Structure 1
Amino acid sequence: MTSGTALMTDQYELTMLDAALADGTAHRRCTFEVFARSLPHGRRYGVVAGVGRLLDALGRFAFGAEELDALRATGAISERTLEHLASSPFAGEIVGYPEGELYFPGSPVLSVTGTFAECVLLETLVLSILNHDCAIASAAARMTTAANGRRLIEMGSRRTHEEAAVAAARAAYLAGFDATSNLEAAARYGVPTTGTSAHAFTLLHDSEEEAFAAQVAALGVGTTLLVDTYDITRGIETAVRVAGPGLGAVRIDSGDLGVMAQRARAQLDSLGATSTRVVLSGDLDEHAIAGLRAEPVDAYGVGTSLVTGSGAPTAGMVYKLVEVEGRPVAKRSSSKESRGGAKSAVRRHKPTGTATEEVVHRLDQAVDVGEHDRVVPVDLVKSGEPVGVRSTLEQARERLRANLVAIPWEGLKLSRGEPAIPTTFLD
């Protein structure tokens, strides 16, 4: 197992390179474009996430001795291609939407320019990162909207691949979640963490009271006690008796959560624990969170639906060749059509700041950029090296917040519908 990312690809990328080197087309200058033909399940916007992870992965995209030996063992490509891989790192350009930006059908989320030999190898790496992280961030943004300012905790690590869990925690935080249960996400990306206890800790002890007392002794009265191992009403009573009215929070992970929240709040208030928060978890998604908006809930813990994109585990992005030696090229299949030419995009806005349209145009087309409009893509890589100042997660969170404020209010609805703003393609 290597520590690099060069083998995180599909064999056909290498066999295409092998054939292109053989016939002399490998060094033609090309542009590949990443875009989504549509948004999942009639959603109204997508959220760009994973660009930072992609740039990190690109920095480790190299064919060293281990990678070359592994490829040689497959027998899939020629020795000439192996020699090329050993001596030809990516030296092209990448332009794309920054993290926290919104995208719509046809938005040129990423453009990769270089020789065919350079660009073709990146397809699988680019798509695997962006399709995952954009899907998670898009779902998380809907949950953030549904929560309407209430605290959100990502807790889906046990419901996905161990590396996907870390990426999901990062994407969720970018999209507005407040914390994660995943410690690796804190170590790698600085995502705030939280967590106290599971049912196993209560069951370990001879009584619920002993378990609560042990947790309070270790973590203080500000901790969150899980009160639904046995009977919720008795659990809340015991929790307040052990921790006192200054108990930080109670968490309920089962039952009719709306009803349970109402009962818990009333009981806590009757016991004098008026500042004790109510935290709900258990198969929540954006629709369930929205359904609980009127209930006395202070925070939500979201797991499975978050790490699976709430029914859309991939963003549906593709990586298509759109230009060869300055000549637009395009796939014309009726079901998988693409538009030729290297492109950019302008987001148009009203003077009030409300976004009205995404204008996608070829780079050789002149487009007026109004006073309130902005060009969306930014330079990410030049001559194989990252350029500019990379957005921090905090900056990406703020960018997304501003973008969600800018789209028409209908675009924040959870119901299926048209994209929040239309995409116009200039021919």
Structure 2
Amino acid sequence: MNSADLGRRVGVPSTALFTDQYELTMVQAALKAGTAERHSVFEAFTRRLPEGRRYGVVAGIGRVLDAVENFHFDDEILNFLREQDVVDGPTLAWLADYRFSGDIWGYPEGEVYFPGSPILRVEGSFAECVLLETVILSILNHDSAIAAAASRMSAAAGGRGLIEMGARRTHELSAVASARAAYIGGFDTTSDLAAGFRYNIPTVGTSAHAFTLLHDTERDAFRAQVDSLGRGTTLLVDTYDVAEAVRTAVEIAGTELGAVRIDSGDLLLVAHRVRQQLDELGATETKIVVTSDLDEYAIASLAAAPVDAYGVGTQLVTGSGQPTCSMVYKMVARAVSADPAEPLRPVAKKSLSSKSSVGGRKWAARRLDENGVAEAEVIGTGPIPAELAERQLLVELVRGGEVIAREPLDAARERHTAARAGLPMSAMQLSRGEPVIPTEYI
């Protein structure tokens, strides 16, 4: 496996300031109190799925590993913290030597999750673990939301092609992360070259309406594109009159025309008309790509249309209405010293509200029914029942501060396909509903 298989981690700056100030002030107070080095366990989980979602998708684990590895305080950052009087001198000295030295376990990327699933478990001293809270949550909340939307769209597409094209609809860096998460969730390609460069995701793209408008006639535009990109290109046919554009496209490119793209109108009706016209012109192998503010519901509504691929932008990179997973990062256990052999005491927030949590270092397993279909997410803090021993979900990601579980992005993509296939069929329904399997605590 070469480095290109894992993605290019080039020019990655320190991630230490991707955090909230109170992480550092907690460290300062704990250092002064003598409790900063107490052995602690934190877990990232969500108390509920976004409204109407039946399962979640774990995405961003690879980016979390990069963030942990690059979480350090260089001189420039330390000077900033000193100038802003964020923390005192002893804390700055401690931060100067910071490198995460603990252990991290988690659900592998692409796996599905449910309410309460301990998606990530971070273990080490209180100080070194608490500093990672914000950056971990910012990555997991964003990437898992995009991957869940992508998974729903992939299920609705039923095997037809999916193109991620949301770069112009979000922040330039979140666009790259979105393309990565969408690929895990089932998208095939991206229009974003930065995502292609960094994560080796296949990239696609041909032309926009501006290219047609640049030329004196649509015929001139099509001719220029075919001369440059070949007959297998995709021609955008809805700038003016669709029927006339399709006729012109086939005249210029011949029956070898790769595809036509439709970006407006009644996509169901127009796609049927274009398919009929292409077939009558002999271009029976020419594909039809549709775009135009699609989401999983619009994709599902086009199931009966002769569409070969969907291009999705805004709705994908905004999580199709659910831009976060509401994951939290909570201390669940601690010792009275820095000794990892010291017994851990379960701790948890106890509240009359819905924000209470379950204490204790947890394991998780997925129980299957007699047909091999998932029937429950089982979470516990004690001994693992023998029948679940082979169904554990958490894997070791970081040991003693060293990342040990990087993998190609395609592995996460394939894992998600398998995990989704192992859920009850009702998981694929787009109608609002409860999580497709219950969470059981034992």
Class of the TM-score when normalised by the shorter of the 2 chains = over 0.9
SS at match of 1:77: coil
Task: Tell me, yes or no, if structure 1 residue 205 matches structure 2 residue 222.
Answer: no
Identify which of 47, 50, 66 aligns with 1:40.
50
Alignment of 1:138-149 (within 5 A): 138-149=148-159
* Matched position secondary structure for 2:288: strand
- Normalised by the size of structure 1, how large is the TM-score? 0.97
8 A contact 2:290–2:311 mirrored in 1: yes
Counterpart-to-counterpart distance in 1, 2:389 and 2:265: 49
Shift of residue 421, structure 1, vs aligned partner: 1.0
Q: CA deviation at 1:162?
A: 0.3
Whichever residue aligns with residue 403 of structure 2, its letter is: P
CA distance in 1, matches of 2:175, 2:293: 17
Deviations 1:349-407 (A, max 9, x none): 13432111111011xx11214279510000111111112x4232111111111111110
Identify the residue that residue 331 of structure 1 maps to in structure 2: 349
What does residue 91 of structure 2 align with? 81
Cα distance in 2 for residues equivalent to 1:132 and 1:88? 26
Letter in 2 for 1:343: K
Counterpart for residue 305 of structure 1: 315
Distance 2:398 2:317 in 1: 29
SS in 2 for 1:188: helix
Partner Cα distance (1:404, 1:38) in 2: 19
Is structure 2 residue 437 aligned with structure 1 residue 418?
no
Alpha-carbon distance in structure 1 between the residues aligned to 2:387 and 2:436: 20
Does the 8 Å contact 1:349/1:373 carry over to 2?
no
SS at match of 1:352: coil
Contact 1:48–1:99 (Cα < 8 Å) also in 2:
yes
Report if aligned partners of 2:366, 2:388 keep a CA contact under 8 Å in 1. no
For the residues of structure 2 that align with 1:214 and 1:225, how far apart are their CA atoms? 11
User: Counterpart in 2 of 1:29?
Assistant: 39
Matched residue of 1:40: which SS? Answer: coil
Runs of 4+ in 1 over 3 A off after TM superposition: none
2:279 aligned to 269, 274, 278, which one?
Answer: 269
Gaps of 5+ in 2: 1-10, 336-343
The residue that corresponds to 2:118 in the other structure is 108
RMSD, aligned CA: 1.3
* Alpha carbons of structure 1 residues 148 and 288: separation in structure 2 relative to 1, 3 Å: same
1:386 aligned residue: 403
* Contact 1:173–1:397 (Cα < 8 Å) also in 2: yes
- Which residue number in structure 2 is paired with residue 173 of structure 1? 183
CA change 1:15–1:76 in 2 (3 A) is same
Match of 2:392 among 375, 387, 391: 375
Q: Structure 2: how far apart are the matches of 1:178 and 1:87?
A: 42
Q: Distance in 2 between matches of 1:64 and 1:273?
A: 60
Q: CA offsets per residue over residues 102-149 of structure 1, 9 Å max, x none? A: 000000000111111101100000000000000000000000000000
CA shift in 2, pair 1:366/1:83, >3 Å: same
Mapped partners of 1:383, 1:373: distance in 2: 25
Residue type at the aligned position of 2:159 = G
Q: Tell me how far apart the structure 2 counterparts of residues 371 and 302 of structure 1 sit (CA, whole Å).
A: 39
In the other structure, the counterpart of 1:292 is 302
Confirm or deny: 8 A CA contact 2:141 2:325 kept in the other structure.
yes
Q: SS in structure 2 opposite 1:6?
A: coil
Q: CA, structure 1 residues 366+66, in 2 after alignment: closer, same or farther (shift >3 Å)?
A: same
Q: Which residue of 1 aligns with 2:363?
A: 344
Give, as a single letter, the amino acid of the residue that structure 1 aligns with 2:402. E
145, 148, 157: which one aligns with 1:135? 145
Aligned positions of 1:401-412 closer than 5 A: 401-412=417-428
Q: What is residue 163 of structure 2 aligned with on the other side?
A: 153
The Cα shift of 1:42 comes to 2.0
Greater Cα offset, 65-74 or 194-203: 65-74
- Gaps in structure 1 of 5+ consecutive residues: none
Partner of 2:374: 355
Identity of aligned pairs, percent? Answer: 60
